[in-house]
Structures are given as structure tokens and as C-alpha cells.
Amino acid sequence: MARKARIWYPGAIYHVMSRGNRKAAIFTDVSDNLRFLECIQDIKEKHPFRIHSICLMTNHFHVVIETQDIELWKIMQKILSIYAEEFNHKHNFTGHLFEGRYTACIIEDERYFLEVSRYIHLNPVKAMMVKEPLAYDYSSYWLFVNDDAAKTHKKAKKMIAELVDTSRVLAYFGHEPKEQYRAFVESEISHEEHELLIQRDIKEDDMWLPKGGQTP
């Protein structure tokens, strides 16, 4: 189960989503994606927290964050304000980049925690940006299922590998956890009930999903 984040306490796990104002893109090229990941890394080094999964779409992003000694709103405010200021300067834009405040739900149930991870990693597939989740570069999915993660030559994947801790998710799958997690995510078994619950909690629907090719 999840509930709207109204309080903060150390060790809380949140599903966080923020999207572009008026459905506009917040990542337009490779450098935008890399800079956003750098912003997360910079704040994470100053105010430690854990990331359990992440996916950068074209006009929004999802991240599962576990707080430690600083409130979630302070973490997100720092990341979003720094990125938005630099994005607007780079593209010569004015006004709000993000649509109001981010949305966050506290995750308090193990099954829901796993379903959120699955939902996030399938977001690019649902948006028809790729045919399979492993093909998407700006998601942590590959890190969960690839035994040669350290050998990637793509900068975005290297940065995601430095940011994301897969241990808590994979710990639920026992023997050969990477293979089991991949089966869990890519199985044809319906997860519609869980997906609708997550969408309701995070205020997302299919109209928000960008359509077309993968972000550059």
C-alpha cells in the first residue's frame, strides 16, 4: 500500500514523479538526461539517500527514494530547482519547467514496493518508446538483470549504476534474483490491478506517456 506523503521520517521509501509543465519535455537530448543524473548525484553526495529504481522519460520521471537524515521535500527541491534553472538557461526558456510540485507516495507494503519497481521499468514500453525494457538507456532496469553491468560504455548507464542500489528489490527473489526479477517484470501475467492503483496514487494516466522513439 502507499499513501500521500504528508509526513517525513528517516527510512521512509517514496515513489516520486514529476512532469513537465503543460506536458512539455523536460529532457530533450542526451546532455539533459546526463545533467539531471548529475544533479541527483550532487545532492546525494551532500545529503545521503538511497535510490531503488529510476526512469527518465521525455516529459516526466519516476524515482523510488529512501530518505535518511533529510526530508524528501528538501532533496527534491534542490534537485528540481538546480536542473530547471540550468535547463531554462541552456534552452533560452522562461517560466516553470515542472508542473507544480512533484507527486510522492510513501511505500509501506513489500508487494507494492515491487510493483512500483516493475511499473517504473515498464514505463518506456507502455509509452511505445522501446519494445522491451532492457532497450531503454535512461532506466535502471538493465542494472537489475544484467550480470555485466560494469562493462557498459554508455555514460548514462554508468551514472545510473552509481546512483541505484538494487539490493533491496533483488533480495525478495532468492535464488538467481536477476533472472527472477526479469521474469517478474516481463511476464505476460496481468498486473492491471496494481498498475491502476499506482497510477491513481501517483496521479498518472496513459495520456501522460510520451509516444514515439526513445529519448536521444
Q: Are 26 and 87 in contact (CB under 8 A)?
A: yes
In whole angstroms, how far apart are CA 173 and each of 2, 70, 147, 193?
22, 30, 16, 21
pLDDT of residue 215: 55
Look up residue 206 and give its three cell numbers.
496513459
Q: For the segment 166-190, what is each residue's pLDDT rounded down to a tens digit?
A: 999 999 998 899 999 999 999 876 6
Each domain of the chain, given as residue ranges in start order, spans 2-202
pTM, two decimal places: 0.87
**Per-residue pLDDT tens digits for 109-151:** 899 999 999 999 999 999 999 999 999 999 999 999 987 666 6
pLDDT of residue 5: 53
Q: Are the C-beta atoms of residues 132 and 182 closer than 8 Å to each other?
A: no
The pLDDT, as a whole number, for residue 21 is 87
Residue 208 has pLDDT above 80, yes or no: no
Q: What is the CATH number of domain 2-202?
A: 3.30.70.1290
Q: What percentage of the chain has pLDDT greater than the value 90? A: 66
Is the pLDDT at 212 greater than 60? The verdict is no
